[in-house]
Amino acid sequence: MFIKGYSIASVAEMGCCGCFGFSFRKKQKKSRPRTYIENHISQQLLLNEEEVEEEEEHEEEEDDDNCSYDDDISDTEKEHHDEFRNPAKRSEDILLYRTQNGLICREFPVKETHKVVRSEDENGNKMVNEYVRECKIGSGSYGKVVLYKSQVDGKHYAIKAFHKSHLLKLRVAPSETAMTDVLREVLIMKMLNHPNIVNLIEVIDDPNTDHFYMVLEYIEGKWVFEGSGPPGGLGQHVARSYLRDIVSGLMYLHSHNIVHGDIKPDNLLVTATGTVKIGDFSVSQVFEDENDELRRSPGTPVFTAPECCLGLTYHGKAADTWAVGVTLYCMINGQYPFLGDTLQDTYDKIVNDTIWLPADLNPQLKNLLDGLLCKDPAQRLSLGDVAVHPWVVENVGPIPEFRCWCKRDREEENNGITHHHLI
Looking at residue 4, what is its pLDDT? 35
Query: Residues 73-93: pLDDT tens digits?
Result: 334 444 444 444 444 467 777
The dihedrals phi and psi of 146, each to the nearest 5 degrees, come to -125, 140
Q: Where are the domains of the chain?
A: 31-79+108-217
Q: How confident is the model at residue 403 (pLDDT cuts 50, 70, 90)?
A: confident
Give me the pLDDT at residue 231, please.
55
Q: What is the mean pLDDT of residues 198-205?
A: 96
Render 253-308 in DSSP notation, one character per residue.
HHHTTEE-S--SGGGEEE-TTS-EEE---TT-EE-SSS--EES---S-GGG--GGG
pLDDT band at 286 (very low <50, low <70, confident <90, very high): confident
Looking at per-residue pLDDT, the higher value among 10 and 248 belongs to 248
- In 92-173, beta strands by DSSP E: 111-113, 118-120, 126-128, 131-139, 144-150, 156-163, 171-173
* CA end-to-end distance (rounded Å), the chain: 63
- The residues, any chain, with a CB within 8 Å of residue 204's CB and separated by 6 or more, are 113, 114, 116, 128, 129, 211, 212, 213, 215
Are the CB atoms for 296 and 282 separated by under 8 Å? Answer: no
Active site residue 262: yes
Q: What residues does 5 pair with on adjacent strands? A: none
| Contact present, 190 and 165 (Cβ < 8 Å) | no
pLDDT tens readout for residues 252-282? 999 988 999 999 988 888 998 889 999 889 8
Higher pLDDT, 23 or 413: 413
Whether the CB-CB separation of 399 and 387 falls below 8 Å is answered with yes
Quick check: 69 and 36 in contact, CB under 8 A? yes
Q: What is 31-79+108-217's CATH number, 3.30.200.20, 3.90.1150.30, 1.10.10.10, 2.40.50.140?
A: 3.30.200.20
**pLDDT confidence tier of residue 218, bands split at 50, 70 and 90:** very high
Q: Which has more pLDDT, 314 or 49?
A: 314
Catalytically annotated residue among 71, 205, 262, 292: 262
pLDDT score for 411: 58
Interval 135-174: pLDDT, tens: 998 776 688 889 999 999 999 999 999 999 999 998 887 8
Cα dihedral 391/392/393/399 (nearest 10): -160
> The whole model's pTM is what?
0.77
